[in-house]
Structure 1
Amino acid sequence: MQLFVSSLAGMIAGPVLACDLALALAVDVSGSVDEKEYRIQMDGLALALRDPVVSEALVRARARLMLVQWTGSSRQRVTIPWTVIDSFSVLDDFSERVAADTRVWRNYSTAIGEALDATMAAFAEVDNCARRLIDLSGDGLSNEGVEPREIHPYLRARGITVNAIAIEQSEQELTAYFFENVIVGEGAFVVTAAGFADYPARIRKKLLREVTQQTAEVQ
């Protein structure tokens, strides 16, 4: 595996940034996620992106959004590339593409470290954005490939924050694991979904906190 590292040169000073936020949405499609649960994730994510507060914040930020599907080692794919969210119509189109996104893999392991590494590499295309976030959802512990914590120094060097949503369908201590091993960066946090049925409400809460930079609990 190749770890992707770049210099911070030029990120401290420079012209006013046209993009406030680059947000990569990394969705777990490992073998523990069945077809119904996959659809709950995609439909819930699309609905959350259409939330009035979320959509207003994304358009105002001229955000860049990207969708990644991930599972086991060497199985991470950008299924919707970076998209400039400069209007509500563009965001509506992106949301529709999320809802319609075809699942790439099934029946593979959970390689969170490699998902972070592969997603991090794509941020080379959006270095002009002031904030860089990976929003990772998952329902299990990393059980294949590089450990997530090994990627943390490289994420910090790139100024990329990782937040997570822990779907505790079968792993009751997943939130604690994500706190210790997955999230990284100033203000990084984990939102807990009790199960996949809870995912739509939790991802909305998570996006509200991320795109509006709220630190208090969002209802």
Structure 2
Amino acid sequence: MRRGGRTAKLKGAARSALRALALLPLALLLPGPATAQQPCRLALALALDVSSSVDAREYALQRDGLAAALDDPDIRRVILNGAGPVALTVYEWSGRYQQHQVLPWVLLSEAGDIDAAVARIGAARRAYTGYPTAIGYALGHGAGLLAAAPACDRQVIDLSGDGIGNEGFGPPLAYRHFPFAGVTVNGLAVTEGGADSEVVAYYLSQLRHGPGAFVEVARGYADFRRAMTLKLFREMNDLRLGDGATGSGRCCG
């Protein structure tokens, strides 16, 4: 084919393409709106006690109680209907170097995210047995996890346990030497002795830290699910009741 004929064909094809584009709706040619997700409102690190004072039955009640609390309909609504998603991680703690991340950071922005987190927590197997209670190290580990968390409006560590620290440094030194500026630490004290027990007093005087911090009380591990559900409800709503001492609010079911 001669060059002139080939050029004419190419020009004709170009004109046809331009005519086809002219027939398209203008909206299809313009860039669509950005689908920006709402900013994360809370980075929450849940810390579960697996020290030597927690036996196998109590561990199961603690693990399953957390999974059930996260799966509670009221907690699901709080997570999904809030102003932005919640970032969640779960770790076990006991001795100086015995910390294990059960659930890596996950952004809870839809029901399937919660389903997956509940399933992973419920299937967890205890990482350590027979170690002491090193609360300062547990807090330091939690501070490190928050440093790697998604950017969120608030940062909270939720530490559960049934005893006072008996190894290493305590919470005051942890708060002094780890990055806790702006971080809230709430406690879930598990006790058989009522709200005036030694562990509750320790959590109130030593553990509780930061804006709006409070301590919730579980009357034994059989009560862990109820206490954790109420605690999550307060944390995810950023409720600040009374002087932040032991929780007594109502929610859920």
TM-score normalised to structure 2 length: 0.76
How many residue pairs get aligned? The number is: 204
1:143 counterpart residue number: 166
CA distance in 1, matches of 2:233, 2:206: 23
Matched AA of 1:197:
A
8 Å CA contact 1:54–1:212 kept in 2: the answer is: no
Structure 2 counterpart of 1:119? 142
Structure 1 vs Structure 2 CA RMSD: 1.8
1:44 aligned onto 2:69:
no
Answering whether residue 117 of structure 2 is matched by residue 94 of structure 1, we say yes
Alignment of 1:168-187 (within 5 A): 168-169=191-192, 172-187=197-212
Match of 2:49 in 1: 28
TM-score by length of 1: 0.87
Quick check: 1:26–1:68 contact (8 Å CA) kept in 2?
Answer: yes
Deviations 1:33-90 (A, max 9, x none): 0111001001110111112221122233311100111001111121211001111111
Higher relative contact order (CA 8 A, sep 6+): 1
Q: Which residue of 1 aligns with 2:250?
A: 218
Aligned equivalent of 2:185: 162
Letter in 1 for 2:116: D
Equivalent-residue separation in structure 2 for 1:136 and 1:174 (angstroms): 12
3-state SS of paired residue (1:97):
helix
Find the structure with the greater CA-based Rg.
Answer: 2
> Residue 22 of structure 2 corresponds to which residue in structure 1?
none
How high is the sequence identity, in percent, across the aligned residues?
A: 37
Assess if the C-alpha contact under 8 Å between 1:46 and 1:95 holds in 2: yes
Name 2:132's counterpart in structure 1: 109
Give 1:153 shift. Answer: 3.3
Cα-to-partner distance string for 1:80-128 (whole Å, 9 max, x where unaligned): 1100111111111101111111100011100001000011111122251
Letter in structure 1 aligned against 2:148 = E
CA distance in 2, matches of 1:79, 1:158: 25
Alignment-mate amino acid for residue 71 of structure 1: S
Q: Which runs of 5+ in 1 are unaligned?
A: 1-15
Could you tell me whether the CA contact under 8 Å between 2:193 and 2:219 is conserved in 1? Answer: no
For 2:178 and 2:228, the matched residues in 1 are separated by 22
Does residue 1:79 correspond to 2:102, yes or no?
yes
* Mapped contact 2:234–2:240 kept (Cα < 8 A): yes
Deviation for aligned residue 1:29? 0.4
**Of 59-68 and 167-176, the range deviating more from structure 2:** 167-176
| Match for residue 208 of structure 1 among 223, 233, 249 | 233
Q: Conserved in 2, the CA contact under 8 Å of 1:139 and 1:169?
A: no
Change (3 A) 1:170 1:144: farther
Runs of 4+ in 1 over 3 A off after TM superposition: 153-158
- Separation (CA, whole Å) in 2 of partners of 1:200 and 1:210: 15
